[in-house]
Amino acid sequence: MKRKTTVRKNRERRELTVERIVAMPVRLAWEGWTEPKHITNWWGPKGWTTTVYEMDVRPGGVWRYSLKADDNSGEEAYCRATYEEVEAPGKLVYIDTFADSDWNMVSDSEMYTTVLFEEVSGGTRISIVTRFATNEQLDNAEAMGMIEGFTDAYDRLEDYLETLMGGKNTMETVISKDGTQIAYTKQGTGPAIILLSSAAADHQDALPLAGHLTANFTVYNYDRRGRGQSGDTAPYEPAREVEDIEALIAAAGGQAYLFGSSSGAVLALEAANLLGDSIAKLYLYEPPFIINDSRKPVPVDYVEHLNTLIEADKRSEAVEYFASEALGIPGEFIGYMKADASWNKMESLAHTLAYDGMIMGTTQSGNPLPAGRWNVAIPTLIMTGENSEPLFHDAARALVELLPGAIAHLLAGQDHSAVVMSPDVVAKAIVDFER
């Protein structure tokens, strides 16, 4: 049952407060408000889809997003916020403005917004306090439905976070050939599509994408072994992950499409090579092959070094090594990554980074892709972000040359983060290819 929303208007301070107690821990509520992969799934009123273009949650950082009506009317609003205070997990302060499609601020649209997260009996009290320049602006915002919009957003937040906590769409399980339990969610109607996450990610990272696909597909969104609610059985071999996919395909009726992102795309390709006709189509987003000198190769002892760090319980160091050597992120930016809440999650999944390293094998060595490695002729869409590094474009072209059923597709304005940051764009490419 949805909780009651409390509304207070203070004309002396020109403030509108919309408040609700939600039944979830403060930390989870905070993450739901500050991580793009979460906020795209609930922010805004019902009947609108949110796309996040930038979300840098720190003082001086910028949050750019749009709200688009789902009724095909073409109505769309662009917003740009600048953070002034960030006190995790209790307080956010930002100046929110409307913008045009080029992100130019609309004059006289500034709203000074404070969001407070307070632990109380029964969960977290979330208070959205919006201050306006004039009482006329306050009255206009109320007349235009701001209270109803925030109330809808609270409803959607409760539904979404309840799902993450297992209260809704509780994960089902299959048993892989080696006895490992694999957890998954199933939603939507249409052909079955299984979502394979990238390194340092679990099924939660694909929740917004899954939501965008449910109108056209039956979506199986699962935790790869060793992640989330799935089990893990030693010793690890990439072939065991292919068997996990095989078990999910059996649960889906014997045939499915696969979508994989980054190293998950390479796992999907491996599965298609080994499982034959049970996989009908492939959707691959930026397999991270390094096939030339566009960037330095991954060290030969990459997997061995990761395992050494994990055995020494140096999980943060393992994530840093992955970010530096596999992702190619310069050292001066890694400090910013560590300050983000997502770093803790990556630490919790650090033991699986070597798994993805084993899946990649020698395909990040700077050498051309082996001509006979994948015997895959099914329809395959290889997607690349327009703004992504050259290595992803080179990899896509090389893979198209190797796979007779493959075509490349460029996603305008996107980069390697598109699956999380712009799931609607990725979903549209998948749906268009299906049609």
Residue 94 — φ and ψ, nearest 5°? -150, 155
- For residue 4, give the DSSP letter: P
pLDDT at 166: 52
Has this prediction a pTM greater than 0.75? no
What's the pLDDT tens digit per position in 399-431? 999 999 999 999 999 999 999 888 889 999 999
Average pLDDT over residues 17-24: 86
CB 66 within 8 A of CB 53: yes
- Residue 255, C-beta contacts closer than 8 angstroms, at least 6 positions apart: 192, 249, 277, 278, 279, 280
Q: Does the pLDDT value for residue 210 go beyond 70? A: yes
What's the pLDDT tens digit per position in 64-96? 999 998 888 878 899 999 999 999 899 999 999
Rounded percentage of the chain residues whose pLDDT exceeds 70: 97
Q: Does the pLDDT value for residue 342 go beyond 80? A: no
What's the pLDDT tens digit per position in 117-165? 998 766 789 999 999 989 998 998 889 888 888 988 888 888 887 666 5
Q: Does the pLDDT value for residue 1 go beyond 50? A: no
Pull the structure tokens for residue 22.
């939600």
pLDDT at 24: 74
Q: Which runs of consecutive H residues, i.e. helices, occur in 14-89?
A: 26-34, 36-39
pLDDT at 46: 85
What's the pLDDT tens digit per position in 242-292? 999 999 999 999 999 999 999 999 999 999 999 999 999 999 999 999 999
- Rounded (10°) CA dihedral 335, 340, 344, 346: -80
Q: Does the pLDDT value for residue 2 go beyond 70? A: no
Distance from C-alpha of 409 to C-alpha of 192, rounded to nearest angstrom: 22
Sheet with 15-22: strands ordered across: 5-10, 15-22, 123-131, 111-120, 91-99, 76-87, 62-69, 48-55
